[in-house]
Chains A and B, each alone.
Chain A
């Protein structure tokens, strides 16, 4: 059965500007089409909300640090491992789900794509093994470049062409999607126990600044014309007063124009902005810097951001910002996992409890909500929890409930033990805005797809686009009024189409689909210098041979390869 007609649903599609009108969506052979024959299976979407499948633009779901987080936290699965009857495998893990649970839970929430936010190139095979085992959803992974020795050396000499050639080589070796930059320079400093907290702090030995790294990577990304922009996790994450470093970093994108054939309009994507929008000088006078940061973001059309919402749960922090994790461990004394990766990056993991009786964590929660509520353009502001850092992705429905209902979020805000302190240090109490379903569709579908360079086929419901469709039990005319009702509606789709096949029905997984690994193959001119440097470094500094570095084809049996020609 490959022809379907989804009838009478309320469609929310920013790609076509449809704001809840009743419209039929026709599906044939994996695509959305203008119309189908009378034999098409009818899916009744009356009184339901129809959107494209959502795209997760930044989550830690596949790879060595995610897995270290899993196996070093048996307690995360304690009394939390289960299997629903049917075709699914055993699922487990509250803050770091197993790969089976990851795929099923995203699909149950109406997601059809997830981007693994940070792939250490040396460990790329691991990332792809996990992507392979994650059911239903399409996935891609962003290799990290911000502390890579090749990058540090080329950018020090301002060799953009060499930088681009190396990036293209890495994308091919690792089946990577784009350019991720985490705590630029600071994680290389961390290999000596140090850090870079501003964009001016030089990296030990390499003597380049984070600002130069950020600028250089943006330029190299545009030189290549990649589908996604440079994707940045700024320096000084999580510290009071860090909004200044954030603004300094974002300003580096000023004046740079996007160059690509994918409809992408941003040159810089700033991730989990909540963690980077703090005013104050210490935890005592800690304050929200969301307004200052969003005033800037709103003015700069060539930026996109994602929120990084704190969900006030026990969760696990994990990031390539190695020094930050060491610092966090010093604060909460919980078990600390760290790996420094030769020539490339590092990762740290520390469990974290965002206790709602603590004023600082509640302020972080508020900042995370202020950011999208301040955002003027929902096509440039996406909702994430930096899973699992600020909270598990399974809490997205709860985050939506806070954004879509002032009543729901105020109830929580006013009920905090230290409500007065939280209200005094943040702006949230005075914000009346409620995100609409149309805006939500922009923030979770159309926007991320466009930012990732996938707008042609994903994130919308126009004929010709891929039939990744989510149908929710939400009647826009009778929008649920309580938090739990909103959550329930978004947590269990009525129906999920993936590539034109029904994979989830009434919240139950009924088909594993045919997931694909997305990656970008960028063709560059032959670059003898870079090839020589690669050979040299493998011979002298890496601990594996160059020929054992690439990810074999068998690890990604179904590939969606996006070709880019950067030879002009």
Chain B
């Protein structure tokens, strides 16, 4: 008889929906179906049963093909690489559990690694801004229960966080928001008319690259000061009208994404959006939240935070101190400048996401890639080590985009003999200890 596992947490995006219901075969090996997930989340579970799953480590041969090796061989090779390298990039982490990250950090501290996570190419800009100016924020349930003005600035949850609008930000009826979306005014501010904008009450088109200027104009208008006729293509009358409307809100929230993090100025765009939110708190209640992408990039930031005091780009290469300087200790910069001697990738695919020059640099260094699947990175790595799918085949703690921690569940067994990240990292850690004891340092 198939069984249903309820309250399953979806390990895909930062929305971290925890109401999935997954049907599993009697022998605990196959997922038969998923309810409540969006298309992307459903695929994460459904593809578990697809054929072609890599079940053992693979090592790149001289002719570019891959040959299967044992886990022990892969672990030994990896440990030797880590011990030998003077500075190793240990990047990824955003799709594994906090428990696994913790073991990874132990290894990094011993071998002199730089631990960086996917924020480095995503909401790192937001983290830089928060480091500079703080952030007035809230949990997603506060949005559901209180928000009557919702602004999506430079983000498109309709595509990237599909259930966000129905679970939290537009449609739900909460304690103080019994009218649901009818009691909320939704703004979408973007350089193009997105599918999210279609769900908004008002769409403001901002000229690409002018978000910082437009946010400056919002703040200036809020203080009743002089404005030029248009800013970023938006007329000053409209700017003043919007600001006056926001001041009448009971609880306003700004959600933002790559439209601010990846356009000119990057962290400055978020910095000024945070300051606008801060200013609005002089008139009413306002919060702002980053639409974190990966389901556990936030978790990596948290674990690095409590263990070393920084949210990403943590340089442990000296092994006796932790340092942080985005632009120096961030992955792309390290690769572009050839500042590392080895690469260790886990729960990520920089081959698909990093600038090409950075990956060319990476491909020239000894590289290990830990991932359940063959991806763009595994094919330029020396060793690919498959692991269980976290949140599907093994549980572990994850942090949602509003930093709420939720323990993901194991729904099915991993393929026979496939290790979990925790098990693999533990073995690498032991092998590193053995090598260091022998004087391999």
Partner of B403, one of A92, A339, A555: A339
**Does B144 lie within 8 Å of A543, measured CB to CB?**
yes
**Does B19 lie within 8 Å of A545, measured CB to CB?**
yes
Task: Produce 1/0 per residue, A531-545, CB < 8 A to B.
Answer: 000000000111111
- In the complex, chain B residues whose CB is within 8 Å of the CB of A96: 309
- In the complex, chain B residues whose CB is within 8 Å of the CB of A251: none
| A562 CB–B CB distance under 8 Å | no
Task: Produce 1/0 per residue, B362-405, CB < 8 A to A.
Answer: 00000000000000000000000000000000000101001111
Chain B binder among A12-20, A71-79, A371-379: A71-79
Interfacial residues of chain A within 124-171, with CB under 8 A of chain B in the complex:
125-126, 129-130, 133, 149
What CA separation (Å) do A139 and B76 show in the bound complex?
A: 38
- In the complex, chain A residues whose CB is within 8 Å of the CB of B136: 326, 336-338
- In the complex, chain A residues whose CB is within 8 Å of the CB of B137: 337-340
- In the complex, chain A residues whose CB is within 8 Å of the CB of B281: 193, 326
What CA separation (Å) do A542 and B167 show in the bound complex?
A: 10
- In the complex, chain B residues whose CB is within 8 Å of the CB of A340: 137-139, 142, 287
**Does B145 lie within 8 Å of A544, measured CB to CB?**
no
Chain A binder among B57-65, B127-135, B180-188, B347-355: B127-135
**Does B139 lie within 8 Å of A545, measured CB to CB?**
no
Q: How far is the CB of A479 from chain B (nearest CB, A)?
A: 36
Chain B binder among A49-57, A341-349, A396-404, A405-413: A341-349
Task: Tell me which of B135, B285, B309 has the highest count of chain A C-beta atoms within 10 A of its own C-beta.
Answer: B309
What CA separation (Å) do A83 and B109 show in the bound complex?
A: 10
| A416 CB–B CB distance under 8 Å | no
**Does B320 lie within 8 Å of A339, measured CB to CB?**
no
**Does A73 lie within 8 Å of B287, measured CB to CB?**
no
Q: How far is the CB of B315 from chain A (nearest CB, A)?
A: 10
CB-based nearest B residue for A340: B138
Interfacial residues of chain A within 110-126, with CB under 8 A of chain B in the complex:
122-123, 125-126
What CA separation (Å) do A540 and B127 show in the bound complex?
A: 32
Q: How far is the CB of A249 from chain B (nearest CB, A)?
A: 26
What CA separation (Å) do A349 and B133 show in the bound complex?
A: 11
- In the complex, chain B residues whose CB is within 8 Å of the CB of A547: 6-7
CB-based nearest B residue for A125: B405
**Does A92 lie within 8 Å of B308, measured CB to CB?**
yes
- In the complex, chain B residues whose CB is within 8 Å of the CB of A77: 308-310, 322, 324
| B361 CB–A CB distance under 8 Å | no
What CA separation (Å) do A545 and B9 show in the bound complex?
A: 10
Chain A binder among B189-197, B257-265, B298-306, B336-344: B298-306
Partner of A71, one of B19, B168, B251, B301: B301
Q: How far is the CB of A77 from chain B (nearest CB, A)?
A: 4
**Does A543 lie within 8 Å of B321, measured CB to CB?**
no
Interfacial residues of chain A within 81-98, with CB under 8 A of chain B in the complex:
81-83, 89-90, 92-93, 96, 98
Task: Tell me which of B127, B307, B323 has the highest count of chain A C-beta atoms within 10 A of its own C-beta.
Answer: B307
CB-based nearest B residue for A64: B403
| B430 CB–A CB distance under 8 Å | no
What CA separation (Å) do A20 and B285 show in the bound complex?
A: 57
What CA separation (Å) do A89 and B406 show in the bound complex?
A: 27
- In the complex, chain A residues whose CB is within 8 Å of the CB of B174: 540-541
**Does A70 lie within 8 Å of B135, measured CB to CB?**
no
Task: Tell me which of B102, B281, B322 has the highest count of chain A C-beta atoms within 10 A of its own C-beta.
Answer: B322
Partner of B141, one of A66, A70, A193, A541: A541
**Does A342 lie within 8 Å of B145, measured CB to CB?**
yes
What CA separation (Å) do A430 and B24 show in the bound complex?
A: 75
What CA separation (Å) do A205 and B323 show in the bound complex?
A: 47
- In the complex, chain B residues whose CB is within 8 Å of the CB of A335: 132-134
| B140 CB–A CB distance under 8 Å | yes
Also in contact, A67 and B306, with CB within 8 A (given A193-B281, A338-B137): yes
**Does B309 lie within 8 Å of A92, measured CB to CB?**
yes
Task: Produce 1/0 per residue, A462-504, CB < 8 A to B.
Answer: 0000000000000000000000000000000000000000000
Also in contact, A337 and B135, with CB within 8 A (given A125-B397, A130-B306): yes
Partner of A74, one of B102, B139, B310, B397: B310
What CA separation (Å) do A90 and B314 show in the bound complex?
A: 12
**Does A548 lie within 8 Å of B18, measured CB to CB?**
yes
CB-based nearest A residue for B407: A552
| B284 CB–A CB distance under 8 Å | yes
Q: How far is the CB of B175 from chain A (nearest CB, A)?
A: 5
Give B contacts to A, CB under 8 Å: 6-7, 9, 18-19, 98, 102, 106, 109, 127, 130-142, 144-146, 167-168, 173-176, 250-251, 278, 281, 284-285, 287, 301-311, 316, 319-324, 397, 399, 402-407
Other than the known A71-B311, A123-B403, what 5 A-B pairs have Cβ atoms closer than 8 Å?
A: A66-B306, A192-B146, A192-B285, A342-B142, A547-B6
Can you report 6 A-B residue pairs in the complex whose CB atoms are below 8 A from each other? A70-B309, A74-B131, A129-B405, A130-B306, A340-B287, A548-B7
